A and B are shown apart, each in its own frame.
Chain A
Amino acid sequence: MDLETQQIHPNKDKMENNKNIALSVKDLKTYFYTNNRCNKAVNGVSFDIEKGKTLCVVGESGCGKSVTASTIMQLLPTLSRIEDGEIIFYKDEEKINIEKLERNGKEMREIRGSDIAMIFQDPMTALNPVYTVGFQIAENLQYHTTMNKKEIREKTISLLDDMGIPLPEQRVDEYPHSYSGGMRQRAMIAMAMACNPKILIADEPTTALDVTIQAQIFELMDNLKKNYNTAIMLITHDMGVVAELADNVAVMYMGNIVESGTADDVLRRPTHPYTKALLDSVPVLGRGRNQDIKPIKGSTPDAYDRPVGCQFAPRCNWADESCKIMPEITNISTSHEVRCHKYKEIFQY
């Protein structure tokens, strides 16, 4: 593998010609303003989501992965602002700049739920307890399609059936409290898939669920990707999930993507110290008791009191004086990018 160091501009023009891209985020910055302080939650993030592929965004809590997702959906709280950057949604031949749309304007509402849909982490709180599940799914169809009442009801039932919910004709009129956790999450996916979105954003969809239910949900998402060519952005903190589902991976730390590439690139040849440390810190099933797990020293810094330069430097074993300056993105291969000064040493290590 060649290791040429080619510094490239974050705005990659070559990618724009690629027809397979469903959504492209360029140098996105989302800041939060509270108590006269500014939290740079997302601080210059660029990535593409391809059609029929899964992009996994990995990171620990507080690294900005959920904020990135809500920024794309324009679901940010009022105290926050998109400071800079572009979110381009490729709708058929059209190019839509999402960041320029009004938060709750007509255009944004048309995209949200029909073209780009989202599944939230906690199905217990994301569903409204005072409406039936069927009503909440139908709402989406009512707004975005021209179907009549009867068709909507049939579609809702068939959606629930597709998600493997038993007795959908009966279940459609039940309230969320009579669903179990796994069924609620499946109802959420049914809701998200109602209008066959081009992009599905899943924010830790299985964190609150048991592993056997998680396996069911992953099977479902895999089928959606195959059958509808949906582009999926999956946010997770579990490297196991990444190994299982991802085509492409982006590793985030303190508001930056520190490493990105195909699943093969990132998992087999981790080049950023943080990715390496993350992979080394979890016990892997089947390796027995003699595996060596290495905790990452220290803890994630306070978002209001960030380290200078590379954000990972204080916890990194390779860090030295040069890390006082924020490293640029470097291309290792056509698909593999890393944000680190020391990547050559780590690569050989």
Chain B
Amino acid sequence: MNNNEDIVLKLKNLKVHFPVKAGVFKRTVAHVKAVDGVDIDIYRGEVLGLAGESGCGKTTLGKAILRLVEPTGGQVSYNATDNEITELTSLTKKEMDPFRKKLQIVFQDPHSSLNPAFTIFGSLEEPLKKYGVSKRSERRKIIGDLLEAVNMHREYMDRYPHEFSGGQRQRIGIARALCIDPEIIVCDEAVSALDVSIQAQVLQLLMKLRKERNLTYLFITHDLSVTEYLCDRIAVMYLGRIVELCKAEDLYKNTLHPYSEALISAIPVADLDKKTKRIILEGDVPSPVNPPSGCPFHPRCPKAQDICKTKVPELKKYSTDGNEHYASCHLINQPEIS
């Protein structure tokens, strides 16, 4: 699966810096480095998890891929099924339109992502209108089918968002992302706002749709137990950079980066037999305006050495259980693979 043709989306040194303005003339005094040089290849048909604490830039990265936030540097290239590679970051707004059909997003908060003044049909028909389904009857049919695909009644399309519960609204959000048949869906904390019993329903629905429609997901979440269940590979982000990227099971079995280790140990597990020692990290995530020198994690890292304070570690390739495993830490005692 890891040959080049299968890469559907290639992020190369992607950067999103937001200016911080101050003073009477609103001069730019600093930059928030929300995403600071991210390289990821997303393979066709995989579920890539993107995990990290709040403020680490995972949502910004998701939005930058869709150009809902303009990247300030680097490239996002999309590889169509016929191997035609397009660099999305260099397109104008108009040129971007046909690619919006391939890339869709499901937002975190189902209460605020649907327009309360529109019926469900009204919200869902917009993308169809834009992409050339001109007959109303046809649109009604497509939307009806979609609602059934997300386990809801066809008749619900004439109701308003306030008539639905959180879980139902999230499913409508998923239906909206699906309605123009995208290839890649960015799920930005799609299950975080839901109750646990409803969360399981939505997770199963996402798995079912992926199988039926051969979708690729970029699944952004802070909940590592969900990523482990759902994802093929997981990328862990810290302060705008990827610190570890590997197969889902390797992240738990053969953790390489001390941050991932601490993150995993901090998750409360609903299993009395599995009590592990929590690694307590000191302090909070530093401000991305003024990140620490060297390795951005070193002020909180329990294993930090002198080298970590001065030299920024690069994302290097290792091998665990025969799988590719990327991590950026000076203190890994494993041979690097080129």
Chain A residues near B (Cβ < 8 Å): 60-61, 166, 180-183, 210-216, 218-219, 237-245, 263-264, 267-268, 277-279, 281-289, 291, 293-296, 299-300
Contacts and interface: CB of A to CB of B under 8 A. Distances in A.
A170 to B, nearest CB: 15
B225 A214 contact: no
Contact of A213 (B196, B269, B275, B284): B284
A285 B228 contact: yes
B283 interface: yes
Contacts of A286: 228, 252, 269, 271, 274
B249 interface: yes
A244 B268 contact: yes
Contacts of B112: none
B199 A279 contact: no
A281 B268 contact: no
A299 B198 contact: yes
B53 A281 contact: no
A216 B165 CA distance: 34
B147 interface: no
Interface string B144-163: 00000000000000000000
B204 A288 contact: no
| B interface residue count range (under 10 / 10 to 19 / 20 to 34 / 35 or more) | 35 or more
Interface of B: 53-54, 165, 167-168, 195-201, 203-204, 222, 224-226, 228-230, 248-249, 252, 262-272, 274-275, 278-281, 283-285
A300 B198 CA distance: 10
Given A215-B280, A216-B280, A289-B228, A281 B200 contact: yes
B262 A243 contact: no
A267 B229 CA distance: 21
13 contacts: A180-B284, A181-B284, A212-B262, A212-B281, A215-B280, A216-B280, A218-B268, A243-B269, A243-B271, A264-B272, A283-B228, A284-B271, A287-B229
Contact of A243 (B165, B228, B264, B270): B270
Contacts of A61: 195
B195 to A, nearest CB: 4
A180 B262 CA distance: 20
B17 to A, nearest CB: 22
Contacts of A219: 278, 280
B269 A240 contact: yes
A117 B121 CA distance: 49
A242 B196 CA distance: 14
Q: Which 10 A-B pairs have the closest CB atoms?
A: A240-B268, A283-B229, A295-B200, A239-B270, A296-B197, A215-B266, A295-B201, A281-B200, A210-B53, A244-B268
Given A60-B196, A285-B252, A299 B269 contact: no
Given A212-B263, A240-B268, A289 B200 contact: no
Contacts of A180: 284
A6 to B, nearest CB: 26
A285 B267 contact: yes
A299 B165 contact: yes
Contact of B197 (A212, A278, A291): A278
Classify the secondary structure of B's interface with A.
helix
Contacts of B165: 299
Given A211-B267, A214-B266, A60 B197 contact: yes
B197 A277 contact: yes
Nearest to B56: A210
Contacts of B272: 243, 263-264, 267-268
Nearest to A210: B53
A285 B225 contact: yes
Contacts of B275: 244
A294 B200 contact: yes
B268 A278 contact: no
Nearest to A291: B229
Contacts of B279: 215
Contact of A289 (B224, B249, B266, B269): B249
A120 B269 CA distance: 23
Contacts of B271: 243, 284, 286
A215 B269 CA distance: 12
A291 B270 CA distance: 14
Contacts of A281: 196-197, 199-200
A214 B279 CA distance: 12
A243 B165 CA distance: 29
A211 B285 CA distance: 12
A242 B269 contact: no
Contacts of B222: 210-211
Contacts of A241: 268
B201 A283 contact: no
Given A211-B267, A239-B270, A288-B249, A293 B280 contact: no
